[in-house]
Amino acid sequence: MRQFRVACVQNTATRDIRSNVDWVCENIDTAAAGGADFIALPETVGLIEPVNAQIPALSYREADDIGLAAFRARAQALGVMILVGSQLICEDEKIFNRSFLVDGDGEIRARYDKLHLFDIELKNGEAYRESDVIAAGDKAAVVATPFGKLGLSICYDLRFGALYRALAQAGAEFITVPAAFTATTGKAHWHTLLRARAIETGAYIIAPNQCGHHADKRYSYGHSLIIDPWGEILADGGADPGIIYADIDLDRVAKVRGRIPSLKHERPFTLEQQ
């Protein structure tokens, strides 16, 4: 099935895991009723805790994760594929920011641990040190789905264009970018970076983002986006919680890549400093 309907659920996660998960599950049901075959959720969809020291006590092993279990159950009940943007997962005494692809039987088809961690201090005083509590992944991921090949990424990965070129050259026809992109950086860069990734890969970009005020000084930008391989925005989630939809035709990927075949024109080079 090369044509399918995608939905992005845009939420405002707080410190209340159960409330977050219940709200998202209700909106998964709504998205499925709206005809979605593939439902994408944001990064850290079940919890945003701005204080790093509190995160270990609120993270679960994969087998015990409340949100993951609930989302798998919804996927099975509805017969839809769900991209769990990410959950904070404990494994081998480390915590990973892990994305899950769940099929219509509720089975986990793929996992991806965020490669690039968000360590930054902004001029307005906002500071983020993801690496203080999260362990970085070391493997990119492309997975076969009933629709076509999917490339996985998470949030800050968006700023590393070489990752997306690699995913596309490995066959990815659509790429997910679940995020909790900050309000400050989102306003400046979110639309531009996502359109650039679509254009340079000739792939659909599906980017569910968190929105609004989470807790303390933590705000996310919203504006979940679905973008076609030519860089055209098919749907924009705006600033508030909700759902966006778009109809995807993966045959368009080959057409766009045929018009501008830059993925075939990569050349090795050396860098000379003069």
Prediction pTM value:
0.97
Q: Does the annotation count 90 as an active-site position?
A: no
Nearest to 233 by CA among 223, 242, 225: 225
pLDDT in tens, 196-225: 999 999 999 999 999 999 999 899 999 999
CATH topology (fold) of 3-262: Nitrilase/N-carbamoyl-D-aminoacid amidohydrolase (3.60.110)
> Which is catalytic among the residues 8, 49, 130, 155?
155
pLDDT in tens, 140-198: 999 999 999 999 999 999 999 999 999 999 999 999 999 999 999 999 999 999 999 99
pLDDT band at 133 (very low <50, low <70, confident <90, very high): very high
Mean pLDDT of the chain, nearest integer: 96
Q: Give the residues across from 176 on adjacent strands.
A: 152, 206
The domain locations on the chain are: 3-262
Cα–Cα separations (whole angstroms), residue 15 to 21, 49, 124, 149, 254: 11, 6, 24, 34, 43
Q: Does the annotation count 155 as an active-site position?
A: yes
Long-range contacts of 188-191 (CB under 8 A, 24+ apart): 190/221, 190/223, 190/225, 191/223, 191/225, 191/233
> Which is catalytic among the residues 43, 49, 130, 173?
43
Which pLDDT score, from 0 to 100, does residue 126 have?
Answer: 67
Q: Look-up: residue for tokens 């204080």?
A: 51
pLDDT for 1 beyond 90: no
> Which is catalytic among the residues 8, 114, 149, 211?
114
Q: Does the annotation count 123 as an active-site position?
A: no
